[in-house]
Amino acid sequence: MNNSILGLTITALATASLLGCTKTQEGASVGAGIGALAGQAIGGDTGGTLIGAGIGALLGGAIGNDQEQQQRQADGSTIRRTTTHETLNPDGTITKTGTTTTTSNQSSDGYTGLEN
């Protein structure tokens, strides 16, 4: 019973520690954990555990980084900003003098076209 509570507590803390992480960081963390378990099962000693954790972190980080890259490519979007130029007259009326539309596109280098 105590081992179950300890295991659930460790799992909850490990999950909470991944909040706010990038996909690369999450992948490296999960990969290190799985690699450490596999290294301990295969090698049965501390050296095997450390080697497994290192290999798992590298592979998990690479997979997470690939997921980030795919997500960035899918996020390519276009933003249009329209500005209406208005002047408040002394008598309280508003005079519209024209509009300006700026279009920007998102790419892997960031946004382009946000100039005025």
pLDDT at 1 > cutoff 70? no
Contact between 87 and 95 (Cβ < 8 Å): yes
Closest CA to 24 of 90, 86, 91, 70: 70
Q: Encode pLDDT of 64-105 as tens digits.
A: 888 887 776 655 566 666 777 788 888 888 888 777 766 666
For the beta carbon of residue 32, count every other beta carbon within 10 angstroms.
20
Q: Encode pLDDT of 32-72 as tens digits.
A: 888 888 888 898 888 888 888 889 889 988 888 888 877 76
Where b means 16+ CB within 10 Å and e means fewer, 53-67 reads bebbbebbbebbbee
The pLDDT confidence band at residue 114, using thresholds 50, 70 and 90, is low
The H or E element spanning position 82 is: strand 78-88
